[in-house]
Structure 1
Amino acid sequence: MEHPGFFERAGPYALSEVATAAGAEIANGADPAVKIDDVRPLFEAGPSHISFIDNKKYLTQLDATKAGACLVIPAIADRVPAGTTALITKQPYHGFARALALFYPAAMQPMVATAGAPPVDPTAVLEAGVMIEPGAVIGREAQIGAGTRIAAGAVIGARVTIGRDCFIGPLATVTHALVGDRVIIHSGVRIGQDGFGFAMGRTGHLKVPQIGRVIIQDDVEIGANTTIDRGALKDTIIGEGSKIDNLVQIGHNVIIGRHCVIVSMCGISGSTELGDFVVMGGQSGTVGHIKIGSGAQVGGASHPTHDVPPGARYFGTPAKPLRESAREQAMIKRLVARDKDSYEDGTPEPEEG
């Protein structure tokens, strides 16, 4: 059976209503009565959906989109393909945030458990052998598989699905998530909170509703006090067998492949993709929207700012291939040693300024 989702969608709305909510103008010749029933990314949108573009690097996706309407800046309104209505605005991302709030009004304060319900909601489905320790809360329509243990003080949100033989540690929270079998989630982990999404502006920053999920596949282990944000429109995904240490931050829309190792205090920015068997060293991190190829290794305290090829070993900030980084470090060391020797020989130090 298909999962019912974590947010109730309002609408459909007439195109004119969506445009008004988004603060946009409908391009000439469009039918303002056309119905729009959801918000989707450019590459997924269909004739009844609205999308947006605010970065020219996605123009190829705009060219191919099947969206019924798209929020665009005036300069690219003529680029919108036939069959898609341009909604013209100087701030497409702001308009997108307002459109999301129109269709998903509850997304800003998602429900975890029903007020006044017992700790284990009567609509939750627990298979035989599930162990619920004192103080745990199980939200409405949650599903928990046989042999899973929910430790004291843990919170399982509404409609969350947890597989068999899992362990959810004390005071952990799991919301907006689908969790596989044999998953270990240690104490204090936070899974499924909204991602860090804001439409920036000179007069303030508009919060963008996050309506995606977190998908955690089989045999994943997640260390204490790690946080994994739910996706904005699509899902945040943790691949089968991956091991995540304590105090790791994983942003919205991140995709982590199978059997990756993410060491403590690592930060992975939104929409980054890791292939299979990637290793991220302690205190490393990435910028958003890059890809780390399968089998790649990123050294401790290193920070890639561009795609990393499969099987590569990168080190430093900004991260570079290991040999290149090592040569640079060796050269700097030789230069420092040479300058030190010259000072000790009586050569006056250069004057500052």
Structure 2
Amino acid sequence: MHLSEIAKIINGELVGEDVYIEKISEWDKAGDNDLIFVFDLDDIKVAEKTGAKAMVIPYGGSSSKPHIRVENPKLAMAELLKYFDWRVYPKDIHPTVIMGKGIQLGEDVGIAPYTVIGDNVKIGKGSKIFSGVVIGNNVEIGENCIIYPRVTIYDHCYIGDRVIIHSGCSIGIDGFGYVWNGEEHYKIPHIGKVVIEDEVEIGGNTVIERATLGETRIGKGTKIGSLIIIGHNVRIGENCVIVSQSGIAGSSKLGNNVIMAGQSGVSDHVKVGNNVTILAKSGVIKDIPDNMIVSGFPARPHREEMRVQAIMRRLPEIWEEIKKLRDKLG
């Protein structure tokens, strides 16, 4: 692909020779006919010393190498990478697929070997289902979805358009709900469903529980990392980011544009407002209003938590001062 073609794809300004590009490369491995991306103007001089043939740089920069100027190099890289994508997706329906009754498949659906699909399932056009996936009864999967190997989607789940679900996920398992009857933990049947809206991505080995009644819902455009548990009846808003090893307990609600950093948690029946950031390893046990940054356990406004931590680090010193004062007072 020539640099001029790349400039059109990423809506950039070509400066210098229209060279041919074979691949996008990391800086330290770049060679002849390779393209690299520079995210910061201050890094251009260092990037020029690599073996790359050409560069994509931010507006305001210049280089002796052929280059493309763009507003946002990181976004440009994301837009371009799909044109160099080597991955192969399932085509057609493999003969080993086990299919139930009343299945509706859209155009250009691909289903790989040893997949099991229950009754009354709908799969929209262009969706790709990899090997070993199990799809229960009365499941609906939208258009242009990608379901990677060993995903399990239980009965009565709804998956929107352009959803990506990575290997090992379980969607629609029973919620962790029991009631003590005097002798044992009596299981509460969970007969609700899971709704995953359009353009959601779910990382590997994540679990989303079905609702007791009603639905567990993941809002449009939300991105969920790997090794995450989302409890029954949770409602997550649009464009949230939930980083790996986090957890949300049952019946909690997250607003739009919430960020949960790694290993953070939200207790049950808690409401988190819009545009909230929960920093790593924080534990939310009460409602948080809009536009807050919180940290610590229990989670509190981040600046307040930093003051608490600063005092705690001085506790040995403070304790020594207290002992000296006590000795003076007799």
Q: TM-score, normalised by structure 2?
A: 0.67
Residue type at the aligned position of 1:135: Y
Aligned to 1:159: 138
Pick aligned residue for 1:135 from 91, 114, 125: 114
User: Is this contact kept in 1: 2:132–2:150, CA < 8 A?
Assistant: yes
Aligned to 1:191: 171
Aligned to 2:226: 246
Is 2:277 the counterpart of 1:297? yes
Aligned to 1:150: 129
Distance in 2 of aligned mates of 1:149 and 1:193: 22
Residue type at the aligned position of 2:122: Q
Shift in CA distance, 298/118, structure 1 to aligned 2, threshold 3 Å: closer
Residue type at the aligned position of 2:175: G
Residue type at the aligned position of 1:314: V
Task: Deviation per CA, 1:47-82: give whole Å up to 9, x if none.
Answer: xxxxxxxxxxxxxxxxxxxxxxxxxxxxxxxxxxxx
Distance in 2 of aligned mates of 1:153 and 1:118: 9
Shift in CA distance, 328/118, structure 1 to aligned 2, threshold 3 Å: closer
Is 2:197 the counterpart of 1:211? no
SS of the equivalent of 1:328 reads helix
How far off is 1:341 after superposition? Answer: 8.0
Distance in 1 of aligned mates of 2:97 and 2:136: 13
How far off is 1:267 after superposition? Answer: 0.7
Higher relative contact order, chain-length normalized (CA < 8 Å, sep 6+): 1
SS of the equivalent of 2:143 reads coil
Number of residue pairs the alignment of both structures matches: 230
How far off is 1:128 after superposition? Answer: 1.3
User: Is this contact kept in 1: 2:97–2:115, CA < 8 A?
Assistant: no
User: Is this contact kept in 1: 2:97–2:113, CA < 8 A?
Assistant: no
Residue type at the aligned position of 2:144: D
> Mind listing any 5+ residue stretches in structure 2 that lack a counterpart?
1-95
Residue type at the aligned position of 1:133: A
Aligned to 2:214: 234
SS of the equivalent of 2:212 reads coil
Pick aligned residue for 1:261 from 229, 241, 264: 241
Shift in CA distance, 160/334, structure 1 to aligned 2, threshold 3 Å: same
Which range moved further: 324-333 or 252-261? 324-333
- When the two chains are superposed, the root-mean-square deviation of aligned CA atoms in Å is 1.9
Task: Deviation per CA, 1:113-171: give whole Å up to 9, x if none.
Answer: xxxx9701242111111101001111100000011011100011101000000001100
Identity %: 45
Residue type at the aligned position of 2:262: G
Distance in 2 of aligned mates of 1:129 and 1:340: 73
Distance in 2 of aligned mates of 1:341 and 1:301: 32
User: Is this contact kept in 1: 2:235–2:251, CA < 8 A?
Assistant: yes
Residue type at the aligned position of 1:317: F
Mapping 1:100-111, distance limit 5 Å: none
SS of the equivalent of 1:199 reads strand
Aligned to 1:271: 251
Distance in 1 of aligned mates of 2:163 and 2:320: 55
Task: Deviation per CA, 1:300-334: give whole Å up to 9, x if none.
Answer: 11011100110101100111111111111111112
User: Is this contact kept in 1: 2:170–2:207, CA < 8 A?
Assistant: yes
Task: Deviation per CA, 1:15-71: give whole Å up to 9, x if none.
Answer: xxxxxxxxxxxxxxxxxxxxxxxxxxxxxxxxxxxxxxxxxxxxxxxxxxxxxxxxx
Pick aligned residue for 1:125 from 104, 114, 125: 104
Residue type at the aligned position of 1:137: V
Is 2:303 the counterpart of 1:318? no
SS of the equivalent of 1:192 reads strand
How far off is 1:336 after superposition? Answer: 2.5
Residue type at the aligned position of 2:216: T
User: Is this contact kept in 1: 2:97–2:114, CA < 8 A?
Assistant: no
Residue type at the aligned position of 2:189: P
Residue type at the aligned position of 2:301: P
Distance in 2 of aligned mates of 1:148 and 1:217: 15
Q: TM-score, normalised by structure 1?
A: 0.63
Is 2:161 the counterpart of 1:181? yes
Distance in 2 of aligned mates of 1:334 and 1:140: 64
Shift in CA distance, 224/199, structure 1 to aligned 2, threshold 3 Å: same
Residue type at the aligned position of 1:139: G
Aligned to 1:223: 203
Shift in CA distance, 207/263, structure 1 to aligned 2, threshold 3 Å: same
User: Is this contact kept in 1: 2:158–2:195, CA < 8 A?
Assistant: yes
